Structure 1
Amino acid sequence: MPEAPEAEALASFLRTRLAGHAVTEVELVEGRALKTRARPLDELIGRAVTAVTRHGKHIDLDLDGVHLSLGFGRAGWATWEDPPEVEAEPALPPVAALIARVVFDDGVLGVTDAGEWLSVQLHVADAADDVPSVAKLGPDAADPAYSRAMLAEAVSGRRKQLKALLQEQETLAGIGNAYSDEILFAARLSPVVHAASLSDDEISRLWSALHDTMTAAVIARRGVPIAEQKAAKVRAMRVHGRAGEPCPDCGGLIEDIPGTKGGGQWCPACQAPIETSDHATPG
């Protein structure tokens, strides 16, 4: 569920709420989620939060030099419980399995996973980039400094479908299944065309769509309660998850992207026709 806009909203909330607050208790419910077995969550007890940063779709909590990295994967997310004397924010629906709890002196951070297989990863490390999945991240897709020149370099010579390339975290961090569909719809580009085949004009359109889509989403998710982030994201989608519905621009039918088994959507009438010569294996 979380991509850069939702992860940024969560990081902003935790930054405001947890700065200076210490961990009093930890609970690891699903042991497979902790990837640093030699460094248990117990290391966090007694340490106070000094910084919260986002790295692509990952959140890093710096607790006096010991870092807790939260990698949510496709189905992970977070919950927050206020202290009993303060009215609590609604929790996620019970379909999300609890993975871990980190109890602070001012509330409880929960980590959940609603998928059929475990996608959440927790790491206890000395630095954010000690986590392999963070260390290999490319430039951040939501960074206003990400330029057209950087995008042109990223697509140059790449015989990879655009949708797959946008989701490749080593190339561009923070974009997942949903926003890749939205960006390509805004750019009026086929999700299965090869990145290497893009013209200068198409690169410019893709960069503008990427910048505008991610900027707007970050602003829109700001201040939305954690428990409402998923619903807010779903409501904002113009084509993703809307197969069978009319296109919001042309009125044509939104369809599943060929080869994605329903995992991605597009408007064939608005986006460039699929050329057989441009096909590549999805992913």
Structure 2
Amino acid sequence: MPESPEVQALVEELGERTVGRVVREVDVLEFRVVKTRRRPPAELVGARVAGVARHGKHVDVGFDDGRHLVVSLGRHGWARWAGADAAADAPPVLLTIGFDDGPALEFTDAGGWVSLGVSVVDDPAEVSAIAKLGPDPAAPSYSRADFDRAFAGRRKQTKAVLQEQESIAGIGNAYSDEILFRARRSPVAHAASLDPAELDALFAATVGEITEAIAARRGIPIAELKAAKVATMRVHGRTGEPCPGCDGTIRDFAFASTVGQYCPNCQTGGELLPAPAGG
């Protein structure tokens, strides 16, 4: 799932390569990606790109006439430049935007269902997922008060709160695992059970993990961002490997409809969390 560090690197590259260019054609290869049926992406033909921004895990392409193309990447959506060498198993292209100069931009989706979505709006807040976004820990204005509002009195697992876009924008399964490992906190502890020192550690880990990851991804070509993300993970996706913080072993645990990773020694006092079915 694309998360804020990689999406930020994506929007910065898109901004560098598309601002000032005019949309010459839009080809929708999968009609289900279009979420504003009365305003199809084709209405943007002739518009000039004015800027590209990020809202949580969403891409916002702004045009000089005030319109916006919001791309919600979902669970498996991503982007690539047309003409670049693609692997035989590369995900299918669902939407292509051609410009007056340079390569076309292709949006892909690798999932078994269509999670990519595009909306043409006059204000990004017209997209409900953006309107409901909580504060972004990568923003300079993000404060401890913002963080505490997400956690105060919540009878919800800490990992779930970190991934709740209405509370904290931009974090998904991978970075929530990394944040919790960095803070040495259990992913399943209820937010309301955290004492002030634990909240201090979790706040510092959240801001530090996301801002450092954004800095580390900056300038990496979008085709290489997924591999760069995987390479830097300390616990996420490292099942069965030695823990980088102790002599323990990274383990899987069942979380909602997916799987997370953690170190029992570092995070749960040795307690083993429920493993995924068949794990």
Name the TM-score, length of structure 1 as normaliser: 0.91
Structure 1: where are the runs of 5+ without partners?
Answer: 82-87
Any idea what SS the aligned residue of 1:263 has? strand
Segments ≥4 residues shifted beyond 6 Å: none
Q: Of 163, 166, 169, which residue of structure 1 is paired with 2:162?
A: 166
Distance 1:140 1:223 in 2: 21
Q: Is it true that 1:206 corresponds to 2:202 in the alignment?
A: yes
Distance 2:159 2:61 in 1: 31
* 165-174 or 249-258, larger mean C-alpha shift: 249-258
Which AA in structure 2 matches 1:196?
A
1:90/1:227 contact within 8 Å kept = no
1:4/1:174 contact within 8 Å kept = yes
1:238 aligned residue? 234
1:121 aligned residue? 117
Which AA in structure 1 matches 2:94?
I
* 168-177 or 134-143, larger mean C-alpha shift: 134-143
2:277 aligned residue? none
Distance 2:50 2:198 in 1: 43
Distance 2:236 2:128 in 1: 30
Distance 1:94 1:166 in 2: 32
2:94 aligned residue? 99
Q: CA deviation at 1:260?
A: 5.1
1:195 aligned residue? 191
Structure 2: where are the runs of 5+ without partners?
Answer: 275-279
2:177/2:235 contact within 8 Å kept = yes
2:15 aligned residue? 15
Any idea what SS the aligned residue of 2:264 has? coil
1:46-67 Cα distance to aligned partner (Å, 9 max, x none): 0000111100000101122121
Question: Aligned residues: percent identity?
Answer: 53
CA gap 1:169/1:96 in 2 versus in 1, 3 angstroms = same
* 258-267 or 12-21, larger mean C-alpha shift: 258-267
Distance 1:101 1:180 in 2: 32
Which AA in structure 2 matches 1:22?
V
CA gap 1:32/1:258 in 2 versus in 1, 3 angstroms = closer
2:131 aligned residue? 135
Distance 2:260 2:7 in 1: 21
Q: CA deviation at 1:74?
A: 1.1
1:141/1:175 contact within 8 Å kept = no
Q: Of 143, 146, 152, which residue of structure 2 is paired with 1:150?
A: 146
Any idea what SS the aligned residue of 1:160 has? coil
CA gap 1:184/1:58 in 2 versus in 1, 3 angstroms = same
Q: How many residues align?
A: 272
CA gap 1:55/1:92 in 2 versus in 1, 3 angstroms = farther
Distance 1:214 1:6 in 2: 10
2:70 aligned residue? 69
Distance 1:215 1:61 in 2: 22
